[in-house]
């Protein structure tokens, strides 16, 4: 998964494609961010600490936040389903 809006929002597309395949609750809970995407987030966090975001950085950060929100919602529902079974 490479959630970068500069590459056509492929991260969002990857998440939506994964969820559209109706994965099992356990598969949803096992979903992890790709190491390269995590590195990009870490770089953004460091940049924000050292200086401030420019417009491009801010948009990228918002993109990651949106993807994280979707994944958290999916994982919450997956956990509920597992607890009910």
Segment 10-43, tens digit of pLDDT: 578 888 888 899 999 999 999 888 888 888 999 9
Place of tokens 């994982």: 75
Residue 65 has pLDDT above 90, yes or no: yes
Residue 73 has pLDDT above 90, yes or no: yes
| Beta carbons of 3 and 12 less than 8 angstroms apart | yes
| Beta carbons of 74 and 28 less than 8 angstroms apart | yes
Average pLDDT value over all residues in the chain? 85
Comparing CA positions, the residue from 15, 4, 8 lying closest to residue 61 is: 4
| Beta carbons of 59 and 9 less than 8 angstroms apart | no
Which pLDDT value is given to residue 3?
43
């Amino acid at each position: 998964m490479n959630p970068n809006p500069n590459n056509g929002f492929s991260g969002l597309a990857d998440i939506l494609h994964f969820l559209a395949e109706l994965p099992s609750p356990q598969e949803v809970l096992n979903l992890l961010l790709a190491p390269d995407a995590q590195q990009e987030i870490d770089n953004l966090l460091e940049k924000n600490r050292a200086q401030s975001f420019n417009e491009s950085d801010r948009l990228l950060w918002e993109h990651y936040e949106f993807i994280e929100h979707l994944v958290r919602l999916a994982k919450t529902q997956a956990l509920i389903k597992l607890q009910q079974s």
